[in-house]
Structures are given as structure tokens and as C-alpha cells.
């Protein structure tokens, strides 16, 4: 083995320095979120009171509905969205993601003052607020009397200029590990945590408070429900062959387990030609139920009838796919 000469030592030191940097980069974490961002935006163009935007919704928000300044924007199967939105004179762009059950909403707000030359808000405008990694421990449960404890954490507090829970400052009370805990009045029905980054963009997490100790069978009006769930779908097919009818009973509750009265419920078959007509929309009753009479066509007999149920309150919606196997009619058997 040849001895290291004086002329080769600078080269070795340089290679050693590169190796040390490479190891450090491999070990040290980058300033990126712990998980896939909920929303990734491309550049936004603002002109004439209209915002043109596009982006993708992360896997953690799969199934969520997206609205921009209150206007729905379609999200395709890959999570991509694009469209033009009328700002109606607003001074900011608000993107709201609502969970399928309607029990939680996350709203990202971007001030129009962040638009540069040509009215362009650049890509990455939400990076800082999402890198902050604000999370809230849910479900939040109270009894309507005792103080309510709201807890959560922040990954990178240095990204934030403000953090509040129902208007109470919690940024200055973060623990060394980024955790926070704050008490709110026991009568609190909705918890709103808002984080604002140093550029003025913000993220607001809105979630309802579940009540413990409620009596089974308690009913709540649709306007006061916290989310909506289709908890039961039952089919009664005693009159299927004789009268070509199947009765369908649907029960809905909110995320607290309360029966919902006044929810708008509609049903449809996934295949054309199975029902003689689409049933009319019904409102759920005092027991959270809606009853539909499905009128069957001859093509439905001997098949599995697949029905999609849509249930809506003023603040949430839910869908559920169910099916029932229909008996084979005498005429159908004869044709076979």
C-alpha cells in the first residue's frame, strides 16, 4: 500500500468533508411535515374578483368535501382539483375540507395581500402552516357542566405567529415538546383551533364536542346535529313477489349517537331498470328513521338490488351502499 503523500492529503480531507456532510444530511430531518400535507396548491391567479386555483388533497383527507369561499369544488379519484371561484369581494381565499361524517372541518385561509406581480399567489403558500403540524386530540367529550379540556400538539412552533383555541392564546403556553392543553367552559359545543403563520396564512380546525351521559334514544334536530351517520338500513321484502314492492327503513344518528330528526334522505339504485321510478326524498322522523317503498321492475327479480343512500343535514352529509337479494319471479323462471 502506498504511503499518503503531502499532495494527496488536501484531496483526502475534501473527500472526508463531503462524506461527513452526506451523513449529516441523511440523519438530520428536513423541515417537512410529519405526514402528507392535507392540501398541496399550485400557483393561484387572482384577477377581476376571481381566483383560479388547482392542487391536490392528501390521502388523510380522502372522502372529504372541498369548498372554496363557500363554493363546492370537485375532487377527482386521485385527489386532484381545479377551478375558478368568484371571491364576492372577500379579502382572502378560504379552502374548507369537511370529513365525510361532517364531524370536523379544516379551513385554510390565504390573504389576497400575498399576491405578487400579476396577481399571482405562489406555490407553497401553505407550506409553513402545514409544516407547523398543528394537531388536535379528538374526540372531545364533555358533560355540559364540568370544564372542557382541549389538548393537542405542534411540531414546529417557530413557524407560527399565533395559535388560539376558541379565542384563547395557547402559543405562549406550549410545552417543550410542543404539546398544549387548555380548559374551556363546560357549555362549549364547538372547539375552534386557529394557527397563523408568519406570512398571515392560517389553518383552522373546527370540531364538535361529544356529550357523554346522554340517554339512549335522545333525538336532535338536523340543524343541531354534529355530523351524520347512516347507522342502519333494513329491507323488508315480504311483498316483493305479490306486489312488486320492497320496503326500506333507514336510521340516522349524529357522531354523539343522537337520533336525527329532519335529515334529508334519498335513495337510488346503482343500475337503471331495476326500479319503476326513483323514490322521492324523505325527512327522518322523531326516531331518526325514514321509510321508502321501492317499486320493482321485472328486471330486478332474481338479482341483487344495490341501493345508495344519501343523508344530509344543513352541515353534513353521509352516503352508504347496501344491497338486498330479490326472489326470482315465476315469469322470470319460465323465461329461463
Q: What is the pLDDT of residues 168-196, one digit of tens each?
A: 999 999 999 999 999 999 889 899 999 99
More confident residue, 56 or 138: 56
- Of 211, 231, 257, which residue is a domain's last? 211
Confidence of residue 331 (pLDDT cuts 50, 70, 90): low
Of 19-28, 29-38, 53-62, 174-183, minimum mean pLDDT range: 19-28
One domain for residues 56 and 123: yes
CA–CA separation, 288 and 318 (whole Å): 14
| Cβ within 8 Å of residue 232, ≥6 positions away | 249, 250, 251
What residues form DSSP beta bridges with 136? Answer: 152
Q: How many CB atoms lie within 10 A of CB 50?
A: 13
Instruction: Identify whether the C-beta of residue 30 lies closer than 8 Å to the C-beta of residue 48.
Output: no
Provide the number of structural domains found in the chain: 2
Q: What is the length of the chain?
A: 336
Distances (CA, A) of 102 to 95, 227, 284, 295: 16, 4, 18, 32
Q: CA neighbours within 13 Å on the CB side: how many for 321?
A: 6
Instruction: Mark whether 200 and 59 lie in a shared domain.
Output: yes
Which spans in the chain are helix H?
9-27, 127-131, 240-243, 330-335
3-state secondary structure of 233: strand
Residue where a domain terminates, one of 160, 186, 211 = 211
In whole angstroms, give the CA distance from residue 158 to residue 58.
Answer: 24
Mind giving me the DSSP string for 218-245?
-EEEGGG-SS-EEEEEEEE-TTHHHHSE
Q: Distance between CA atoms of 49 and 119, rounded to whole angstroms?
A: 11
pTM of the model: 0.58
Percent of the chain with pLDDT over 70: 86
Q: Does residue 303 sit in the same domain as residue 281?
A: yes
334 lies in some domain: no
Tell whether omega for the bond before 139 is within 30 degrees of 0, i.e. cis: yes
The pLDDT value given to residue 254? 86
Residues 79 and 202 in one domain: yes
Do 236 and 136 have their domain in common?
no
Q: What's the average model confidence in pLDDT over 203-217?
A: 77
Structural domain of residue 253, as residue ranges?
A: 219-329
Amino acid at each position: 500500500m502506498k504511503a499518503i503523500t503531502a499532495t494527496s492529503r488536501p484531496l483526502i480531507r475534501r473527500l472526508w468533508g463531503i462524506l461527513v456532510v452526506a451523513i449529516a444530511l441523511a440523519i438530520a430531518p428536513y423541515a417537512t411535515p410529519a405526514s402528507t400535507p392535507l392540501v398541496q396548491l399550485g400557483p393561484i391567479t387572482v384577477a377581476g374578483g376571481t381566483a383560479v386555483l388547482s392542487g391536490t388533497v392528501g390521502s388523510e383527507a380522502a372522502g372529504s368535501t372541498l369548498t372554496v369561499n363557500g363554493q363546492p369544488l370537485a375532487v377527482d379519484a386521485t385527489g386532484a382539483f381545479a377551478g375558478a371561484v368568484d371571491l364576492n369581494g372577500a379579502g382572502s381565499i378560504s379552502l374548507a375540507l369537511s370529513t365525510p361524517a361532517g364531524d370536523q372541518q379544516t379551513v385554510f385561509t390565504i390573504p389576497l395581500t400575498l399576491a405578487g406581480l400579476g396577481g399571482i399567489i405562489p406555490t407553497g403558500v401553505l407550506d409553513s402552516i402545514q409544516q407547523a403540524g398543528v394537531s388536535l386530540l379528538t374526540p372531545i367529550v364533555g358533560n355540559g357542566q364540568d370544564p372542557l379540556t382541549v389538548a393537542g400538539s405542534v411540531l414546529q412552533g417557530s413557524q407560527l405567529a399565533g395559535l388560539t383555541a376558541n379565542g384563547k392564546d395557547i402559543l405562549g403556553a406550549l410545552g417543550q415538546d410542543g404539546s398544549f392543553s387548555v380548559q374551556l367552559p363546560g357549555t362549549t359545543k364547538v372547539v375552534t383551533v386557529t394557527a397563523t403563520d408568519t406570512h398571515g396564512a392560517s389553518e383552522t380546525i373546527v370540531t364538535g364536542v361529544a356529550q357523554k351521559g346522554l340517554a339512549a334514544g335522545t333525538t336532535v334536530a338536523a340543524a343541531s346535529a354534529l355530523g351524520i351517520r347512516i347507522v342502519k338500513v333494513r329491507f323488508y321484502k315480504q311483498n316483493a313477489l305479490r306486489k312488486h314492492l320492497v320496503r326500506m327503513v333507514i336510521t340516522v344518528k349524529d357522531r354523539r349517537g343522537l337520533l336525527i330528526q329532519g335529515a334529508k334522505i334519498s335513495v337510488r339504485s346503482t343500475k337503471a331498470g331495476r326500479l319503476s321510478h326513483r323514490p322521492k326524498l324523505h325527512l327522518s322522523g322523531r326516531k331518526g328513521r325514514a321509510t321508502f317503498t321501492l317499486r320493482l321492475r321485472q328486471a330486478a327479480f332474481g338479482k341483487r338490488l344495490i341501493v345508495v343512500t344519501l343523508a344530509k343535514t344543513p352541515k353534513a352529509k353521509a352516503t352508504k351502499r347496501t344491497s338486498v337479494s330479490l326472489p326470482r319471479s315465476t315469469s322470470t323462471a319460465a323465461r329461463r
